[in-house]
């Protein structure tokens, strides 16, 4: 079912209110050739209805000669802001940036956030934005999960499919994504709803089995047969399996970068309005797969960069892989058991 402008404007007003937008503040909407026109039009109306000053900064796409996909997360190299000081200055002068382009994992984004500007990414189709509208309760749930990560020394992940992964923690902070930006210098993504961190450098070891029905992103496809990753000293050193493993291996080889094989962020989904089963219901070029990243009870891990958390790895290769039916423990505390959140029982099993 399509979303009316009225519904989407109301959704924007809700998110902007949660993001503490005040009358007279400056909002810059960052757009590109792939920005959804309804999302943009309704954002412009919502910002003006709340008495803020709104600007639009439209930038041309880059990296076309390198990317294998139209997905904005498929290649994390230079951005339209690279070498563009005038555009960066405009964003730094804004109280809030609504990113309808995808300025992710980039030095420019870090620089803008350090100035105190808030950035909210919103690039999913309107139907997903409205269904996964963030709430104050989402924030509480995600922050509680991040507190558990902060106090843990190790995350372990096991599954009946064969996953058996150990990740020492402590070198990197816990990151909370709950769908709005309520503090200066905060970045978030609407929709979202998960908590994550990064393993200590070269510390992750074990086996990850991407089972039948698990999802590869940015491929935005369900795996048809298991893929086994052997993880040693923080890197996936083997990718084994059938045709899906071959496809994943070839895709990663195109980046010609050994850092793309590093275990990146690890965490679990907490969004109860996101669903594993929805991926095929949307055009692949219109979604980046946030349902898959955020659905409650997944184990979400990534291969690639860690500069978002203050690390030095800025590889262009970025692959997110949400797994079902895993048990996730922080030290001895289970936060997910076989794909089911344990928050109501405080993870004591």
Lowest mean pLDDT among 115-124, 241-250, 283-292: 283-292
Q: Which residues contact 189 (CB under 8 A, 6 or more apart)?
A: 120, 121, 122, 177, 179, 290
Among the candidates 130, 163, 191, a domain finishes at: 130
Q: Are residues 85 and 209 in the same domain?
A: no
Query: Is the pLDDT assigned to residue 280 strictly greater than 70?
Result: yes
Task: Tell me the mean pLDDT in the region 76-81.
Answer: 78
Please indicate, yes or no, whether residues 100 and 221 belong to a single structural domain of this protein.
no
**Cα separation, 208 vs 276, whole angstroms:** 19
- Tell me the per-residue pLDDT of 155-191, one tens digit each, with 9 for 90 and over: 999 999 999 999 999 999 999 999 999 999 999 999 9
279 DSSP assignment? G
Residues 35 and 139 in one domain: no
Output the pLDDT for position 345. 46
Alpha-carbon span 50 to 66, nearest angstrom: 41
> Is 310 in contact with 283 (CB distance < 8 Å)?
no
Res. 309 pLDDT band, cuts 50 70 90: confident
Provide the CATH number for the domain around residue 106.
3.40.50.2300
- pLDDT(347) > 70: no
What is the pLDDT at residue 346?
A: 38
> Using N-to-C axis directions, what is the helix angle for 37-49 and 5-18, rounded to 10°?
60
**Is it the case that residue 204 has pLDDT exceeding 90?**
yes
Same domain for 188 and 121, yes or no, is no
Choose the final residue of a domain: 103, 130, 157: 130
- Percent of the chain's residues with pLDDT above 70: 94
What per-residue confidence (pLDDT) applies to 314?
80
211 shares a domain with 106:
no
pLDDT at 206: 98
Tell me what pLDDT residue 310 has.
75
Q: 270: domain range?
A: 134-345
Mean of per-residue pLDDT scores for the chain: 93
Summarize the confidence of residues 44-49 as an average pLDDT: 98
The pLDDT, as a whole number, for residue 40 is 98
Q: Residue 39: is its pLDDT beyond 60?
A: yes
Q: What is the pLDDT of residue 348?
A: 35
Alpha-carbon span 220 to 229, nearest angstrom: 19
Q: Is 284 left (phi over 0), alpha (psi -120 to 50) or beta?
A: alpha
Query: Do 328 and 249 belong to one domain?
Result: yes
Residue 83 belongs to what H/E stretch? none
pLDDT in tens, 262-274: 999 999 999 999 9
70 versus 344: the higher-pLDDT residue is: 70
Ramachandran assignment for 116, one of left (phi > 0), alpha (psi -120 to 50 degrees), beta (any other): left
Q: Residue 306 — very low, low, confident or very high, per pLDDT cuts 50/70/90?
A: confident
């Amino acid at each position: 079912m399509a979303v009316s402008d009225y519904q989407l404007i109301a959704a924007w007003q809700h998110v902007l209110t949660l993001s503490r937008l005040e009358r007279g503040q400056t909002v810059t909407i960052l757009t590109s050739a792939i920005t959804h026109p309804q999302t943009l039009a309704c954002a412009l109306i919502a910002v003006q209805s709340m008495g803020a000053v709104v600007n639009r900064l439209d930038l041309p796409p880059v990296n076309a000669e390198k990317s294998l996909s139209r997905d904005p997360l498929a290649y994390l190299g230079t951005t339209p802001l690279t070498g563009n000081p005038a555009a960066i200055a405009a964003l730094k002068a804004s109280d809030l940036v609504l990113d309808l382009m995808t300025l992710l994992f980039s030095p420019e984004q870090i620089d803008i956030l350090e100035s105190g500007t808030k950035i909210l990414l919103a690039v999913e189709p309107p139907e997903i934005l409205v269904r996964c509208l963030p709430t104050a309760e989402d924030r509480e749930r995600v922050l509680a999960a991040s507190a558990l990560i902060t106090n843990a020394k190790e995350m372990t992940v096991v599954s009946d499919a064969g996953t058996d992964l150990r990740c020492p923690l402590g070198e990197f902070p816990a990151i909370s994504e709950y769908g709005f930006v309520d503090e200066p210098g905060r970045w978030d993504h609407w929709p979202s709803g998960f908590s994550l961190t990064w393993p200590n450098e070269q510390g992750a070891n074990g086996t990850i089995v991407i089972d039948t029905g698990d999802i590869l992103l940015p491929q935005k496809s369900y795996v048809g047969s298991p893929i086994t990753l052997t993880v040693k000293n923080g890197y996936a050193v083997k990718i084994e399996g059938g045709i899906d493993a071959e496809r994943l291996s070839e895709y990663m080889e195109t980046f010609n970068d050994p850092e793309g094989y590093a275990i990146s962020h690890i965490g679990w989904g907490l969004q109860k309005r996101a669903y594993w089963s929805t991926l095929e219901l949307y055009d692949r070029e219109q979604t980046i797969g946030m349902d898959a990243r955020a659905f409650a009870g997944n184990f979400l891990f990534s291969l690639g960069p860690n500069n978002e958390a203050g690390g030095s790895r800025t590889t262009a290769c970025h692959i997110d892989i949400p797994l079902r039916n895993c048990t996730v423990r922080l030290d001895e505390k289970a936060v997910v058991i076989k794909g089911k959140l344990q928050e109501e029982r405080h993870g004591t099993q």
